[in-house]
Amino acid sequence: MTSISKWTIALALACSVALPGAATAQQGVTRGSILIGQSAPLSGGNAAFGTDIRDGALAYFRKLNEAGGVHGRKIELVTLDDGNVVQRADENTRLLVEQRDVFALFGYASATLSRPALPYVEKHRVPFLAPFTGADPMRVYNRHVFNMRASYADELEKIVDYFAPLGITRFAIVHYDDAVGRENLTAVDRALKKRNLTAVSVGAFKDRAKPDIGAGMNAVLKGNPDVVIFTTLFKATADSIRYARTNGSGAFMVSNSFPGASQLAKELGGDGVGLVVATVAPPFARVAMPVVAEYRAAMEKYAGRKDFSFTSVEAYISAKLVAEALRRAGPKLTREDFMQALNGMSAFDAGGYTIGFAPNNHNGSSFVELTIIGRDLQFKH
């Protein structure tokens, strides 16, 4: 068992035994602790993504706690496994908010897992921080929700804007046939129409759990695209890319950040050479950036991991911003003071990477960068 596993288990046991009664009176705040709740996929097909979110945040919080916490309080993250199942995420949120009485929610792994949390957030006025999604439905202004990354629309615009000036006109998109997936389709259509283009083909997966790769990709390949844009989970994306290559496609394969760049690269292995991925956090190899160097050191020391990823560096930066807002909110901590502190952070420099909010704008970043997997299977920028 790794050190992170031991620490996480010990933390969960400590929280379950010591905190509920004291936390309830102060909305997750005691004299010595601040309780933050998370529902994430720690099992199932998207477990690597959920684990990276948790571990990146834990690396920062544990580092902070070792230095004394915030105003003498240690931040404790309680993560419940949802297995990437919407109903479990819904129940986890109910448990975290109504039984554990957490101070805030943090780092849910997608829009489909985040949206069921919104009724609890509204009812109990709970801050909801850094959902790992750029989906439009989660970016509609909500006074309790604070997004710390660019939107999928920002990413998809960046992708089209990169390829279209090269004279490429034949674009296809692969998406899920649900509310979030159709928003991605609309975003690509919007970016193409700005350049007087339309998609030559579309592949839609009706079932996220068991996508029909053959049917979806056959529909895409009929259009003979030069660029195929994926907005699907990493396993579906990897299987689709392999299917396209096996069936003779020479198109550029491009993904938005949704599957997690590092997780997708691991799934593809050698088949990932040439894949272009949009990322919304600084590259984990950019050690000249102070926050990246800080993140890598913390991951090694407090998480016992050297397998760095775009996902865990994003979680680390998000956790750092949360801690800064807690500091600014002062020692007499309330949820309202905390959200007011976030609203006042117009340009927080986490160490070379800036996030900013305003009272009427809770979308903290529009940073998007494209990266490509080279022949050495490393990301190139």
Per-residue pLDDT of the chain (381 residues), as tens digits, is 344 444 443 344 344 433 333 444 468 999 999 999 999 999 998 999 999 999 999 999 999 999 999 999 999 999 999 999 999 999 999 999 999 999 999 999 999 999 999 999 999 999 999 999 999 889 999 999 999 999 999 999 999 999 999 999 999 999 999 988 999 999 999 999 999 999 999 999 999 889 999 999 999 999 999 999 999 999 999 999 999 999 999 999 999 999 989 899 999 999 999 999 999 999 999 999 999 999 999 999 999 999 999 999 999 999 999 999 999 999 999 999 999 999 999 999 999 999 999 999 999 999 999 999 988 878 887
What pLDDT score was predicted for residue 180?
A: 87
What pLDDT score was predicted for residue 13?
A: 39
CA distance 80 to 12: 10
What pLDDT score was predicted for residue 9?
A: 38
Helices 152-163 and 179-193 cross at an angle (nearest 10°) of 40
Q: Is the Cβ–Cβ distance between 273 and 375 less than 8 Å?
A: yes
Is the domain defined by 3-149+286-355 classed in CATH 3.40.50.2300? yes
The per-type count for the chain, helices as H runs and strands as E runs, is 14, 14
Domains 3-149+286-355 and 152-279 share a fold: yes
CA distance 290 to 352: 6
CA distance 36 to 32: 13
Domain boundaries, the chain: 3-149+286-355, 152-279
The residue length of the chain stands at 381
Is the domain defined by 152-279 classed in CATH 3.40.630.30? no
pTM (2 decimals)? Answer: 0.88
User: Which residues lie below 8 Å from residue 66, measured CB to CB, with a gap of 6+?
Assistant: 302
Q: Is the Cβ–Cβ distance between 321 and 356 less than 8 Å?
A: no
Phi, psi (rounded to 5 degrees) for 39: -110, 130
